[in-house]
Structure 1
Amino acid sequence: MQLPVSRLFAPMIAIIILSLSGTARAELAEFPAPADQVEGSVRIYSSLDIELAQPLIKAFQVRYPRMSVQYETLLTDEVHDRIVAESEAGTGTADFAFSSAMDLQVKLANDGFARPVRTPDTAGWPNWANWRDTAYALTYEPAVFAYHKPSFAGQELPTTRAGLLRWMAEHPAQAQGRIGTYDVARSGVGYLFMARDQDLYPDIWSVVSAMGKAGVKQFPTSAEILQRIADGELVLGYNLLGSYVAEFARQHPEKVGLILPRDFTVVVSRIGLVPAAARSPRAGETFLAFLMSPEGQVLLSRTLRLSAVSLEVAGQTGPAGGMQDLAGLRLKPVPVSPGLLAYLDQATRARLLKRWNEALRGD
């Protein structure tokens, strides 16, 4: 079933703000087909902000000018829950899902909510980035620190977790109430970052406890943290998606800086899949194939500053792509595999959230 786009939207992109559960907001953007004759529509659920996705969608429509795009921005858990609910209701769901919560995307595939898709680039895709042709890693994104440049003028930057501990101890007044991070109970990628920190860094709870004493602020999205850093309300953001920080730093070069942790750098990927209950599965497959193509990977890497997964593209993207910027780091990528489901085990999740809250309270 294809969803035609009203010609009323032809002059502009229409943004509709929808209230979800009284807390989070979803943005639905309509991108009319550039051509006069519309042959199809692709509906996308994504955790990537519309502002970052627009160049990608426009490039897709240059290649497929008769395709309209409906792009809905959701929190990562909402992407998962919406697809499950709509699939089980039998009403059909999005044609393509693109999310930074790797565990939730793999769960969709593992639970039968994604269909196998082979694109022209599947054969050459890295093994770690493809699970049974149902869930594809499309980006290669580090977890980074962000900081307010004016606040750190003349100071040594904390480039490791031990350095962050030392900075909080040496600058308690500066740190108090001015550190931001993800709310790990509400942000899927924030929870995954913390779970990986726990696996990789035995002293992580000392860091969390120190942030708790410093009155750390928690947010569900990167944008909320980064805007407050740009405004100077916060001076440091911990464990943020590097793609958002890089873009914000480009837009606010005098205010926002990016730190790639030198002790270890967790690397996650945005995973794309075509839901089994997609209303227009061929449209979803076409969009996935575009993102996996050299053109799509170059766009993700250069335009959005997300490092490419495609080995063919990774060596061609130049410094803007970010691959060279990661040289020399202790990179800890998360493979696309059912091993991610361990982080979603309810008992495991409950233990981590309990430990998180206890550390923040200083228990």
Structure 2
Amino acid sequence: MRQRLRHLPALLLPVMAAVLIWAGGASAQVTRFPAPQPGASGGGTGAETELSVYSSLDNDLAAPLIAAFQARHPGIAIRYENLLTTDVHDRIVAETDAGGPTADFAFSSAMDLQVKLANDGYARPVMTPDTPSWPGWANWRDTAYALTFEPAVFAYHKPSFAGREPPATRADLMRWMAEHPDQAQGRIGTYDVARSGVGYLFLARDQELYPGIWSVVQAMGRAGVQQFPTTADLLERISDGRLAVGYNLLGSYAAEWARQHPDVGLILPRDFTVVVSRVGLVPAAARAPELGGEFLAFLMSPDGQRLLSHTLRLSAVSLEVAGQTSPAGGMGELDGLRLKPVPVSPGLLAYLDQATRAKLLARWNKAIQGR
């Protein structure tokens, strides 16, 4: 995160002059963004109020969103807690069940856990000006909204594919592993699906969408696939050539990494591309639900979606904004791709079923071992 902070625009530095507190061990970081002084533009109440946010989005990525929101609402300070996705869910449940207030807004990449909060009554319906036009797959009962559009990509080490095209489909990947075993052995990486929530979600969707996925996993297993819990672990190794190909990486982080590391290339799979989203909601027990609703409305607005797409390299859900911004947040053209977004719906709860999870992980481990 320190490396990313160095690249923040200078105009954001006053916003980041905040109090940072580590809480709950290494899993939580609390940052307070003081309210800007009310000015002529944006009005302001003259009295500072505080919006509380629980989010899995890194502080440096959240800072432009917070700066833009506060520019429109200069009387609002923001208490921002950067949490693991499971902690976002668990904190809201525990604080609500204890009868106290919880965050005013929750923003997480764990689609399944966010939908579980909504399904279990821990989120409140919120109508924003953009709700009527929001895609049906991205809105569940006006309580949980998909706010980003993030493809799973193949990342590759460009020098390792000098003079030839990198794999663009799963069939291409299998063909490359079979025809170039010396180059593939030990140099394919993917998520450790037992430790990575997004990696597990990608695998579950692969199984639903592609009957041949287990042949791909077996082939990667024979090639000595390397498994890692985070996107950064994978991208670091692709950057220096220890890995030649990364399978099913979260495209938002990979796109930003590729901008800063010219030896890293990205492919949006041409056979089908799984798309996941970060989901926002206003908790039922929010201390200031009206502020949480205002923050949600901002993220769904054309300005908020444009900021997600342009500044954060997280593609917009809004079709209006997506048509005005660079496709896929800088990851390439989306035309002609078979995009398969994960719907925000109770169907996601199946991924949390322990028996289903154990069965899928057992099949993964068996396939990786070539069986």
Counterparts of 2:69 and 2:339, CA distance in 1: 31
Q: 1:35 aligns with which of 31, 34, 37?
A: 37
Q: 1:317 aligns with which of 316, 320, 325?
A: 325
Q: Aligned to 1:139, what secondary structure does the other structure show?
A: coil
Counterparts of 1:40 and 1:217, CA distance in 2: 48
Counterparts of 1:55 and 1:231, CA distance in 2: 30
Q: Aligned to 1:247, what secondary structure does the other structure show?
A: helix
1:131, 1:336 within 8 Å by CA — same for their partners in 2? yes
Match for 1:34: what amino acid?
A: P
Match for 2:293: what amino acid?
A: E
Counterparts of 2:15 and 2:309, CA distance in 1: 29
Match for 2:277: what amino acid?
A: S
Q: 1:12 aligns with which of 5, 11, 17?
A: 17
Once the two structures are superposed, what CA deviation does each residue of 1:226-266 show, in whole Å capped at 9, x if it has no partner? 233223333322111111111111122x2211110011111
Aligned position for 1:286? 294
1:45, 1:74 within 8 Å by CA — same for their partners in 2? yes
Aligned position for 1:172? 181
Aligned length: 351
Counterparts of 1:234 and 1:336, CA distance in 2: 33
Q: For residue 324 of structure 1, report the CA deviation from its aligned partner.
A: 7.2
Aligned position for 1:6? none
Counterparts of 2:212 and 2:16, CA distance in 1: 55
2:255, 2:330 within 8 Å by CA — same for their partners in 1? no
Aligned position for 1:158? 167
Q: From the superposition, tell whether residues 38 and 249 of structure 1 become closer, same or farther in structure 2 (CA, over 3 Å).
A: farther
Q: From the superposition, tell whether residues 60 and 77 of structure 1 become closer, same or farther in structure 2 (CA, over 3 Å).
A: same
Match for 1:191: what amino acid?
A: Y
Q: 2:311 aligns with which of 280, 303, 306?
A: 303
Q: From the superposition, tell whether residues 262 and 30 of structure 1 become closer, same or farther in structure 2 (CA, over 3 Å).
A: same
Identity of aligned residues (%): 74
Q: Aligned to 1:94, what secondary structure does the other structure show?
A: coil
Match for 1:42: what amino acid?
A: L
2:103, 2:283 within 8 Å by CA — same for their partners in 1? yes
Aligned position for 2:207? 198
Q: From the superposition, tell whether residues 208 and 28 of structure 1 become closer, same or farther in structure 2 (CA, over 3 Å).
A: farther
Confirm or deny that 1:332 pairs with 2:340.
Answer: yes
Counterparts of 1:50 and 1:126, CA distance in 2: 28
Once the two structures are superposed, what CA deviation does each residue of 1:47-67 show, in whole Å capped at 9, x if it has no partner? 222222221121111112222
Confirm or deny that 1:96 pairs with 2:96.
Answer: no
Q: From the superposition, tell whether residues 38 and 333 of structure 1 become closer, same or farther in structure 2 (CA, over 3 Å).
A: same
Aligned position for 2:10? none
Aligned position for 1:142? 151
Q: From the superposition, tell whether residues 68 and 201 of structure 1 become closer, same or farther in structure 2 (CA, over 3 Å).
A: same
Q: Aligned to 1:290, what secondary structure does the other structure show?
A: helix
Q: Aligned to 1:325, what secondary structure does the other structure show?
A: coil
Q: From the superposition, tell whether residues 136 and 346 of structure 1 become closer, same or farther in structure 2 (CA, over 3 Å).
A: same
Once the two structures are superposed, what CA deviation does each residue of 1:168-220 show, in whole Å capped at 9, x if it has no partner? 22333333333322222222221111101001111111222222233333233
Counterparts of 1:233 and 1:45, CA distance in 2: 36
Confirm or deny that 1:360 pairs with 2:362.
Answer: no
Q: From the superposition, tell whether residues 83 and 227 of structure 1 become closer, same or farther in structure 2 (CA, over 3 Å).
A: farther
Q: For residue 12 of structure 1, report the CA deviation from its aligned partner.
A: 1.8
1:146, 1:258 within 8 Å by CA — same for their partners in 2? yes
Q: Aligned to 2:333, what secondary structure does the other structure show?
A: helix
Q: For residue 10 of structure 1, report the CA deviation from its aligned partner.
A: 7.8
Q: From the superposition, tell whether residues 222 and 101 of structure 1 become closer, same or farther in structure 2 (CA, over 3 Å).
A: same
Q: 1:234 aligns with which of 243, 252, 257?
A: 243
Aligned position for 1:66? 75
Once the two structures are superposed, what CA deviation does each residue of 1:286-322 show, in whole Å capped at 9, x if it has no partner? 1111101111011111112222212322222244745
The within-5 A match list for 1:209-224 is 209-224=218-233
Aligned position for 1:132? 141
Once the two structures are superposed, what CA deviation does each residue of 1:302-353 show, in whole Å capped at 9, x if it has no partner? 1122222123222222447459711100111222111222222222111111
Counterparts of 2:192 and 2:334, CA distance in 1: 26
Aligned position for 1:263? 271
The answer to which of 172-181 and 286-295 deviates more is: 172-181
Q: For residue 167 of structure 1, report the CA deviation from its aligned partner.
A: 1.8
1:302, 1:320 within 8 Å by CA — same for their partners in 2? no
Q: Aligned to 1:226, what secondary structure does the other structure show?
A: helix
2:16, 2:63 within 8 Å by CA — same for their partners in 1? no
Q: From the superposition, tell whether residues 194 and 292 of structure 1 become closer, same or farther in structure 2 (CA, over 3 Å).
A: same
2:15, 2:63 within 8 Å by CA — same for their partners in 1? no
Q: Aligned to 2:149, what secondary structure does the other structure show?
A: strand
Counterparts of 1:267 and 1:67, CA distance in 2: 33
Counterparts of 1:11 and 1:250, CA distance in 2: 23
Q: For residue 19 of structure 1, report the CA deviation from its aligned partner.
A: 5.8
2:328, 2:334 within 8 Å by CA — same for their partners in 1? no
